[in-house]
Amino acid sequence: MSDIIQLLPDHVANQIAAGEVVQRPASVVKELLENAIDAGATCIKLLLKDAGKTLIQVIDDGKGMSSTDARMCFERHATSKIQKAEDLFNLCTKGFRGEALASIAAIAHVELKTKQENEELGTCIKIEGSKIISQDFISTGKGTSLAVKNLFYNIPARRNFLKSDTVETRHIIDEFQRVALAHPNIAFLLHHNNNEVYHLKNNNLRQRIVAIFGTKMNEKLVPIDEQTDILTIEGFVAKPEFAKRKRGEQFFFVNNRFIKSSYLNHAVVNAFDGLLENGSHPSYFLYLTVPANTIDINIHPTKTEIKFDNEKALYAMLRATVKHSLGQYNVAPVLDFNRDSNLDTPYHFNAKSVATKAPKITVDPNFNPFKEATQKEIHFPFKRQKQNENWESLYTSVAVNTEEKQEELFDNQQEIKTQKTFQIQRKYLLSSIKSGVVLINQSLAHQRVLYEDFLESITVKEANSQQLLFPVKIAFSSTEIEMIYTIKSELENAGFSFDEFTKDSVTIKGIPVSVTESKITIILEELLNDMNLEVPDASFSHFDIMAKSFAKTLSIKTGTQLSEKEQEGLVNDLFSCKAPSISPFGKPTFKTLTLNEIDNLFNS
């Protein structure tokens, strides 16, 4: 029998490895940016075309590579930071030319230009699908430029699995933000299709956060600073009133490496206990520094998950530190959460000294308590009637009021007898039908009604818009502004009217009739979050996701008391919809219970 086990060719092995390392263009961006940081760069440029599918290029001014290193960095298992197995548990760098370059070169066209400072000429290497096409000496500046073109060109199945340009760009920006936040001392530039998205100068952490998320973020931040023997915590948390409905701006960094940790997130949320509305999530930018040998960052291929030696101690310290900072900066009351602000000393009295003289007491020498008071001496706030005057009116009014209340009582009883719907626990509506009863989820039913109304307004007829007396200016990050601008025409079809777009804000002068001014920010934030979901890039998808987002945000919520008229109106509107049985998100809006099913409940 012939042998059937064989070694895979290098180019096939590299393609298999690429499946683990390179999931999408954002994976390539992360590896190249981290390599540039470890090269000691002070300025890093990221150039993209077509969400990285056509081009991902990272240019840095770091130390560069020799011609030998430039060739070696594309070999499998080539690295500059690991000499022995023990080094895996004492990592202080992110990687230097080689951890993933072999995998990237296997599935793309790669062009590398690099030069060290003390060399006269640099090196240029071109690779296509793991095959080195050329290697030449060139004249170039200090540092490295690595261009990855036509990603997944030789694996069309993987390329077909990529999402729309909008979604892939969002993932790239997420990776870019994480790296930029971890290294505020490095300047970063991001260009997409020749348009500048970010131009971040090297500055302090607070300025870096504001530069990425907009100027309005500056007023939200509460500083965090704590040092212990086993842990150093720095960074910022956002004030409770700026909490969001979605988990968005939540960043943990351990030894300048972005991580995800539900355990540490729970510690932060616990510190906000009693300060957040139900369903809200705090924003935070927290930087933890621990000894490198007390963590294991190799438990996940992307190194975004981490294992600590003493998780419980870190949890307690993090929770206490955040809670202390919230109290220290008067964000949260330290002792009395129900303190009455009316009892506070007014500002203009703070500097005044306490009076030392006793107040003067005035006495009326003519006052005689035994003297019979006359009508003139007694001051009533109303004209008093004589004692026995019109006494019948007292009983008449009582009798009339009693009769009216009795009539109201019987009227209410008559209304209850003819009432068509009933509200249960402020969550469900119960309505009688010929075959039995129907139980309706009021929130999901209202979502369906609003969804179809919005969809019709956006796509079929022109929506009504109400002009605001004073235009509303809302601050967003530059990427969020760009997303809003891309769907500007769809929002205008929905009834929004825009006055001005700037780099970090948008001014709105008109809103849909069904939207209140106080909900503008919530609606747009929810819409941006929904736009970040992986939806197909179809012309209809923006309309659909917009209608869903509006319906979800504006629908009545569980716990809302509805009058009888509102209940009946909602039931009628629901069964006038084209698809009344399901919500916009595929959940059932109502359940029917026939008479036979009800009888069986009592006969079983």
Does the structure show a pLDDT above 60 at 505?
A: yes
Pairing of strands 232-238, 221-227: antiparallel
Q: Which one is predicted more confidently, 284 or 261? A: 284
Does the structure show a pLDDT above 50 at 385?
A: no
pLDDT value of position 371: 62
pLDDT value of position 463: 66
pLDDT value of position 193: 92
Does the structure show a pLDDT above 50 at 409?
A: no
Report for 22-36, 396-410, 474-488, 538-552: range of highest mean pLDDT: 22-36
pLDDT value of position 278: 75
Q: Which one is predicted more confidently, 300 or 144? A: 144
pLDDT value of position 224: 93
Closest CA to 313 of 293, 290, 340: 290
Contact 570, 445 (CB under 8 A): yes
Closest CA to 103 of 39, 17, 42, 161: 17
**CB-CB neighbours of 205 under 10 Å:** 18
pLDDT value of position 241: 85
pLDDT confidence band for 519 (50 / 70 / 90): confident
Report the DSSP beta bridge partners of residue 134: 126
Does the structure show a pLDDT above 60 at 341?
A: no
Mean pLDDT (the chain) is: 79
Does the structure show a pLDDT above 90 at 209?
A: yes
pLDDT confidence band for 82 (50 / 70 / 90): low
Mean pLDDT value of segment 271-281 = 82
Mean pLDDT value of segment 457-462 = 68
Mean pLDDT value of segment 378-399 = 43
Residue 395 structure tokens: 């009983």
pLDDT value of position 391: 43
pLDDT confidence band for 149 (50 / 70 / 90): very high
pLDDT value of position 399: 44
pLDDT confidence band for 396 (50 / 70 / 90): very low
Does the structure show a pLDDT above 90 at 163?
A: no
**pTM to 2 decimal places:** 0.66
Residue 55 structure tokens: 């081009």
pLDDT value of position 261: 86
**Segment 41-69, tens digit of pLDDT:** 999 999 999 999 999 999 999 999 999 88
pLDDT confidence band for 360 (50 / 70 / 90): low
Does the structure show a pLDDT above 90 at 398?
A: no
Q: Which of 206-215, 502-511, 520-529, 585-594 has the lowest mean pLDDT?
A: 520-529
**Segment 281-297, tens digit of pLDDT:** 899 999 999 888 777 66
Share of the chain above pLDDT 70, in %: 75
Mean pLDDT value of segment 249-267 = 89
Does the structure show a pLDDT above 50 at 394?
A: no
Closest CA to 530 of 463, 450, 585, 587: 585
Mean pLDDT value of segment 270-280 = 82
pLDDT value of position 331: 60
> Cα(229)–Cα(218) distance, rounded to whole angstroms?
31
Domains and CATH numbers, the chain: 10-200 (3.30.565.10), 211-328 (3.30.230.10), 450-554 (3.30.1370.100)
Q: CB neighbours of 307 closer than 8 A, spacing ≥ 6?
A: 295, 296, 299
pLDDT value of position 202: 92
Q: Find the farthest-apart pair of alpha carbons in the chain and give their distance in angstroms, rounded.
A: 132
Cα–Cα distances (Å) from 494 to 11, 342, 450, in that order, read 52, 44, 12
Give kind and range of the element (H or E) at residue 248: none
Give kind and range of the element (H or E) at residue 357: none
pLDDT value of position 336: 42
> Cα(598)–Cα(392) distance, rounded to whole angstroms?
57
Mean pLDDT value of segment 218-240 = 90
Q: Which of 393-407, 470-484, 549-563 has the lowest mean pLDDT?
A: 393-407
> Cα(253)–Cα(206) distance, rounded to whole angstroms?
15
Mean pLDDT value of segment 266-287 = 87
pLDDT value of position 18: 63
